[in-house]
């Protein structure tokens, strides 16, 4: 079925100097963000970092203490939520339980007093896109979680919004269904060309869905980047351990391009580490950037603790002489000799250009690292 979606256009969004306090709690501080029309942004960060507050300010449910919100260049702080052309999808779907699927999707159009024929055509189109046409007469209580989520999205899109805001939309779904829904909803939002902001504290969800990810920490933006750039070039130790898994290795700068690891070897990083000799540093090395090798200069000796198969890869954890845990991930090919617990092995960094260097002490991020494991 060919659909005329070309006239649907997403808003561009600008936040400038946004700050918000609830009494003494500063929820957001100096937020600057520009989102292009049609872009899909993920707001990612630990619990309490200000994600929902930011979404509510964009939606118009909350007036910021400070700063500007612009849609297509025009300020909107004075415009109430129901006049902002916004589609919302919440964690618990928030469907009206006493209304059929059809009437749920029709709700925003009826509130806007659209003629019956237009409502019927639009609802049919939306339910078709969401693959829920066959369920139009059911009540929300007669649907699965994933089906309810599709209806919630159809309802949000029915009013031709300029901006769709999704707050933890998949958290009530089980893990298998989640990935399917992430792919489905991303493709639906992209088909529409609508600008979308999805709030999540699940980094995999942010990586799989977003064009760009905004990482919030304690009310501030730590980094805004594409999923690949966040993963490969994290701006802080916090981000390196919050996005994906990583190994944090302590060391000391010994030369312009060298770091002596507490774990044993001196590592030549092949570039200036931009810190003075004697500076304590933490290196972040991804598990897929470490390989088993032979005893040679630069190799890190470890005692193997365990190997766990994780579907396509297997992850082996070893412990260095300095007591640091190091994870190595490998494609789980048949015939790979399994390292036995208690064995000594030598680990080598495969690509030093993909090692990130930070001055922050590990203690500052250890809490987040525990969360991500």
Ligand X SMILES: Nc1ncnc2c1ncn2[C@@H]1O[C@H](COP(=O)(O)OP(=O)(O)OP(=O)(O)O)[C@@H](O)[C@H]1O
Q: Which of 47, 141, 174, 295 binds ligand X (CB under 6 A)?
A: 47
Retrieve residue 361's tokens: 């002490």
Q: Of 48-56, 118-126, 182-190, 312-320, which part binds ligand X (CB under 6 A)? A: 48-56
User: Is the separation of the CB atoms in 170 and 201 below 8 Å?
Assistant: no
User: Is the separation of the CB atoms in 94 and 168 below 8 Å?
Assistant: no
In the complex, least distance from residue 204 CB atom to ligand X, rounded to whole angstroms:
15
* Residue 49 binds to ligand X (criterion: CB under 6 A): yes
Q: Which of 52, 65, 100, 252 binds ligand X (CB under 6 A)?
A: 52
Which of 49, 239 has the CB closer to ligand X?
A: 49
Q: Of 20-28, 121-129, 285-293, 324-332, which part binds ligand X (CB under 6 A)? A: 20-28
In the complex, least distance from residue 75 CB atom to ligand X, rounded to whole angstroms:
22
Q: Which does 48 bind (CB under 5 to 8 A by kind): Mg ion, ligand X, none?
A: ligand X
Which of 143, 199 has the CB closer to Mg ion?
A: 199
* Residue 52 binds to Mg ion (criterion: CB under 5 A): yes
In the complex, least distance from residue 46 CB atom to ligand X, rounded to whole angstroms:
7
User: Is the separation of the CB atoms in 211 and 226 below 8 Å?
Assistant: yes
Q: Of 46-54, 102-110, 295-303, 320-328, which part binds ligand X (CB under 6 A)? A: 46-54
Which of 188, 214 has the CB closer to ligand X?
A: 214
Q: Which of 11, 51, 122, 212 binds ligand X (CB under 6 A)?
A: 51
In the complex, least distance from residue 43 CB atom to Mg ion, rounded to whole angstroms:
9
Q: Of 45-53, 186-194, 229-237, 301-309, which part binds Mg ion (CB under 5 A)? A: 45-53
Cα separation, 160 vs 166, in Å, equals 15
Length of the chain: 373
- Burial grade of 246 (CB within 10 A; 0-12, 13-18, 19 or more): buried
Q: Which does 22 bind (CB under 5 to 8 A by kind): ligand X, Mg ion, none?
A: ligand X
Residues that bind ligand X (CB under 6 A): 22, 25, 27, 45, 47-53, 201
The binding site for Mg ion (CB under 5 A) comprises 51-52
């Amino acid at each position: 079925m060919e659909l005329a979606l070309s006239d649907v256009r997403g808003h561009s969004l600008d936040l400038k100097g946004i700050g918000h306090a609830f009494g003494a709690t500063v929820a957001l501080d100096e937020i600057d963000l520009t989102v292009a029309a049609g872009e899909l942004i993920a707001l990612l960060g630990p619990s309490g970092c200000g994600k929902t507050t930011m979404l509510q300010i964009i939606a118009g449910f909350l007036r910021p203490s400070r700063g500007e919100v612009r849609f297509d260049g025009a300020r909107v702080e004075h415009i109430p939520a129901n006049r902002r052309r916004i589609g919302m999808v919440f964690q618990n779907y928030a469907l009206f339980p006493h209304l059929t699927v059809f009437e749920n999707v029709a709700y925003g159009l009826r509130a806007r007093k659209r003629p019956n024929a237009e409502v019927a055509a639009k609802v049919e189109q939306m339910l078709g896109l969401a693959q829920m046409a066959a369920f139009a007469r059911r009540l929300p209580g007669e649907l699965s979680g994933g089906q309810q989520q599709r209806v919630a999205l159809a309802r949000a899109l029915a009013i031709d919004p300029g901006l769709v805001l999704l707050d933890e939309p998949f958290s009530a779904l089980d893990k298998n269904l989640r990935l399917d829904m992430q792919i489905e909803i991303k493709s639906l939002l992209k088909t529409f060309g609508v600008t979308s902001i999805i709030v999540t504290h699940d980094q995999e969800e942010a990586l799989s869905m977003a064009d760009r990810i905004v990482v919030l920490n304690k009310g501030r933006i730590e980094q805004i980047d594409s999923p690949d750039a966040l993963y490969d070039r994290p701006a802080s130790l916090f981000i390196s351990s919050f996005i994906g898994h990583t190994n944090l290795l302590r060391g000391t700068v010994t030369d312009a391009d060298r770091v002596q690891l507490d774990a044993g070897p001196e590592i030549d990083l092949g570039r200036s580490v931009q810190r003075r000799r004697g500076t304590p540093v933490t290196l972040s090395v991804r598990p897929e950037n470490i390989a088993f090798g032979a005893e040679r200069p630069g190799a890190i000796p470890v005692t193997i603790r365990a190997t766990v198969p994780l579907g396509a890869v297997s992850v082996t954890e070893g412990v260095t002489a300095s007591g640091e845990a190091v994870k190595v991930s490998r494609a789980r090919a048949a015939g790979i000799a399994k390292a036995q617990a208690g064995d000594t092995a030598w680990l080598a960094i495969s690509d030093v250009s993909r090692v990130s260097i930070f001055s922050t002490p590990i203690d500052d991020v250890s809490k987040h690292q525990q969360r991500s494991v």
